[in-house]
Chains A and B, each alone.
Chain A
Amino acid sequence: MDVLSILKELSINTAVSGNEHTMSEYIKSMFEKYCDEAAVDSFYNILGVKKGLGNSNSKIMVSAHYDEIGFIVTGFEEGGFLRFSNIGGIDAKILLAQEVTIHGRKPLYGIIGAKPPHLLNAEETRKAVKIDELVIDTGLDAEELKKIVSIGDFITLKALPFSLKGNRLSSKSLDNRAGLCALALLLEELSELKHDADVYVLASTQEEVGLRGIQVAAYKLEPDLAIVIDACHGEISDSPKGEAYPLGKGPAIGIGPNLHRKLTNKIIDIAKEENIPYQTNIEPEDTGTEAWATQVSRAGIPTILLSIPLRYMHTTVETLDISDVKNIARLAARFISKGCREVGDLWCY
């Protein structure tokens, strides 16, 4: 599997939280290559199953959300400009002079403009711009624009993947298409390995607006064990100590009350046995990931969190190391194949 080209393709696809149907069929076909079956639910979650050897009734769910941050059209301005609001957490400071796609009756290109610097007063130069002060320039006149775009249409950031030195890739939406890519790699790994439990891969929706897709999907599936794959902050020169993780040093395994301690210890043991690089991601409270919702689904689901360190999260230049994506898949596959024979005992406190 050519991981780089899959990552690139997944990242340029668009699926803003709440508007994921644009990508659901694509993911379903991706899962179908390796799964016994795959289906899309009413929330546009995609669930694929890869049956185990049949000597276990256990269900393992491995999930990654595929929705991305974006915007929604809120109004029109004279001269072919659009007002918009954000979906998910976005820093307005990174939006000036960015390119977007407006998903109207047909996809439309736009630019988020900036007021010319020589017209700014001292206060405006210093203070960060707010999203409600920004407009999208479509290059169309207002009348033409209204034929194509309606209030409530979704908008995505537009940025091409950029390969940096070494194994690094920079693109939009790598949070969490990188996780989705890891699911595909995991399925490929599992086709080489034997596993007892049935493995359910879940590409979930509406994570960026409050872990919504996973809530219904986990309820419906009721798995015995869950592995959540998401992005965590990659280390940069100005990141606070202990809140970000270096790129290329392996998956960050979550540790904290949100995660099942014995299972987490088990997966760490397996990383050691298999010589897979890993690091630990200390999360004293809410992990901010789907693990938070999964752990308390129905009667409770023991959950593990594996994260891909990602720099500049929620920008057009999200940057990761491809080896971390590959190692997440390797680690999850070996845990499922090897560690899960005895998982039943590990659940007990």
Chain B
Amino acid sequence: MVLLKDLTLLNGVSGNEDAVRNYIKERAAASGAKISIDSIGNLIALKPGKKPKFKVMLSAHMDEVGFMVTGYGENGTLKFKNIGGIDERILPGKRVLVGSSAIPGVIGCKPIHMQERDERGNNIKLKSMYIDIGADKKEEAEKAAPPGDYIAFHSEFTEFGDGCVKAKALDDRVGCAIMLEMLSRQFEFDLYACFTVQEEIGLRGSEVAAYCVNPDIALVIEGTTCSDVPGVEKQEYSTILGKGAALAIMDRTAYYDRNLVRFIHEAAIKNNIKIQYKQTATGGNDAGKIQRSRSGVKVAALSVPCRYIHSPVSMMSKWDFDACRDIVGCVLGEFSENQGMIESIKQGGQANV
């Protein structure tokens, strides 16, 4: 968990992934991968195969949801807007880090004692929230945190419960951590591990990365929603914590390749690794862009279920993380043993474990 801890403690709000990229660059290079960084900021690590016939693309995004400084209150507070999908309801009373020097700030709100009746009963809108960094005047605040400064959630990495982890940015540092582990292995095919940017604001980086790599087959590794909590109807559970890695059939952005999905599911079952199908078809990820890259790419997405995703207290099970990593390892291992399976899936055919 050291790798995942390091990765979640770094800040990389969409468009500002530098710290995460630098960390990954060092780690990926140490495993013998050839690193390239493109103009939008994707980091593509190529681990050349021993006898490569095909290019397999793994994709995980480095960016996380956060905010940007947009203005100031007269009393020295910061006004801000979200980057990526954030539930405004969770923001009052949270800690954030502002700008490149990580200035501590808190999202304040009017105390309950001073709220009028209608204020008590209704949620606070993001447009009326502000960040307090301890400045008293507008000028002081502007000097410390100029407009356009990025803002990230602050959250410790905490292990608790039965093999659970709480952190920010589990979506998608889990994918980054698993890809780094895969880079330390050696396969027959060429492995392209794409650490993408700007997923949270519209799958921007993967579009560029997939075009550049031009893969034969692709697998997206994600942190996905997990809504198995009281107050939610059972049929609305997208995934269940602790039931293994989540394999998607379809979502708002992509139809996953049936043959590849079946292959992954069988590989997991054969190796006694916990796997579950994602039960809902909402949301989306980099697969949406990769699938439609150039003349089309067969793609699947395997995810670690994360409760309270896109919040500073995202939560996952270590067992699910291990399952996701192990399944990715098995699938790549099978492809490595028989590269013909890549060809078969690429051509729209089946492949058997």
Contacts and interface: CB of A to CB of B under 8 A. Distances in A.
Q: Is the interface of A mostly helix, strand, loop or mixed?
A: loop
18 contacts: A93-B92, A97-B311, A111-B308, A114-B311, A118-B283, A128-B122, A135-B230, A138-B161, A139-B160, A165-B134, A170-B106, A233-B113, A237-B74, A238-B110, A238-B128, A312-B111, A315-B111, A316-B93
A127 interface: yes
A177 interface: no
Contact of A127 (B108, B110, B123, B309): B123
Contacts of A311: 108, 132
Interface in B229-243: 229-232, 236
A165 to B, nearest CB: 3
Contact of B113 (A89, A164, A248, A316): A89
A319 B161 contact: no
Interface string A307-322: 0000111111101000
Nearest to A91: B112
Interface of B: 73-75, 77, 85, 87, 89-90, 92-95, 103-115, 120-124, 128, 130, 132-136, 140, 144, 154, 156, 158, 160-164, 166, 225, 227-232, 236, 282-283, 307-309, 311-313, 315, 317
A232 B160 CA distance: 36
A94 B227 CA distance: 21
Contacts of B228: 79
B232 A127 contact: no
Contacts of B313: 97-99, 111
Nearest to A138: B161
B162 A236 contact: no
Q: Is the interface of B mostly helix, strand, loop or mixed?
A: loop
Interface of A: 77-81, 89-91, 93-94, 96-99, 108-111, 113-119, 125-129, 133, 135, 137-141, 144, 159-160, 162-168, 170, 233, 235-240, 243-244, 248, 288, 311-317, 319
A128 B88 CA distance: 12
Contact of A93 (B103, B124, B162, B230): B124
B112 A314 contact: yes
Given A163-B104, A312-B108, A140 B161 contact: yes
B173 to A, nearest CB: 18
Nearest to A111: B313
Nearest to A246: B136
A162 B232 contact: no
A287 to B, nearest CB: 12
A314 B120 CA distance: 14
Nearest to A160: B156
B110 A119 contact: no
Contact of B112 (A89, A117, A126, A239): A89
B160 A109 contact: yes
Contact of A114 (B77, B87, B110, B114): B87
A237 B106 contact: no
A98 B158 contact: no
Given A97-B313, A233-B114, A111 B166 contact: yes
Given A139-B164, A237-B73, A240-B114, A165 B93 contact: no
B110 A239 contact: yes
Given A114-B89, A243-B114, 5 more contacts: A114-B311, A139-B160, A165-B144, A238-B128, A314-B112
A148 to B, nearest CB: 11
A160 B110 CA distance: 21
